[in-house]
Structure 1
């Protein structure tokens, strides 16, 4: 891994900035990666390390673009994570969801949820 980083002229100091971890933490992740102790590594860092190691023609720019792409995905997941957190905090809604799952099954609940969301989006679009 270190050889690959060196060939890309990608320093851990740079990576630590792009990934949002301190340099010592990134060194620890690198050590764990080389020891194949993946459970100790942050998911995003593991994805980037795998990307660097699996792609033979990777350039420094490609690695940075991959990090940007991951950061964008994480931002969009933030809204979903926020929704899930709010659902977990609302015991009445959780109870309703559990009852629906028990009565009609998970797939039917998900399908109904999707239909409801599409309807909300369509109504919102028509009103704008």
Structure 2
């Protein structure tokens, strides 16, 4: 890690300021990482070191990652979580495209409360019958899409009418 920091031209004092730990603590983290003792490292430090190991990562990317991951704002703030996700080079491009589409269009706004409820339900360890009923349509649609099943009966015509009503093309 120390060698990689030299390659990236990142000084120990600079990195310790970014990650908001003392230099001795950062040295300890680096020693733990280099010895393979990952369990003693905070998760955000481990992610940073793994990112830094990537030979294609630049100093600018490391700085951006540390600033976004180690900012003093509340990590529970939804906007902060989104900002961090977007700044992370390993984030899913598909999710980023989807987020951008949600921001730029309002055609799916009516679905957002339902999808948020579904995410809450599906995140539970055990889903009761009411929860299953709530997410059933989403799960069935996901299954049909993943298996690339054709539309049934008049579904295409109904969808065309709905799209015209919504002015979606």
Q: Measure how far apart 1:103 and its partner are.
A: 8.4
Q: Which runs of 4+ in 1 moved over 3 A?
A: 74-77
User: With CA pairs under 8 Å and 6+ residues apart, which has the higher RCO, 1 or 2?
Assistant: 1
Change (3 A) 1:102 1:32: closer
- Contact 2:20/2:70 (8 A) holds in 1: no
Q: Where does the alignment leave 5 or more consecutive residues of structure 2 unmatched?
A: 79-124, 136-169
Contact 2:18–2:70 (8 Å) recurs in 1: no
User: TM-score normalized by structure 2?
Assistant: 0.45
Corresponding residue for residue 75 of structure 2: 77
TM-score of the superposed pair, with normalisation by structure 1: 0.58
Q: Which residue of 2 aligns with 1:52?
A: 52
- Richer in helix (by share): 1
RMSD of aligned alpha carbons: 2.9
Larger radius of gyration: 2
CA distance in 1, matches of 2:47, 2:23: 18
Q: CA deviation at 1:3?
A: 0.9
Count the aligned residue pairs: 88
Does structure 1 residue 4 correspond to structure 2 residue 7? no
Q: Does the CA-based 8 Å contact 2:5-2:11 persist in structure 1?
A: yes
Once the two structures are TM-superposed, the CA of residue 69 in structure 1 deviates from its matched residue by 2.6
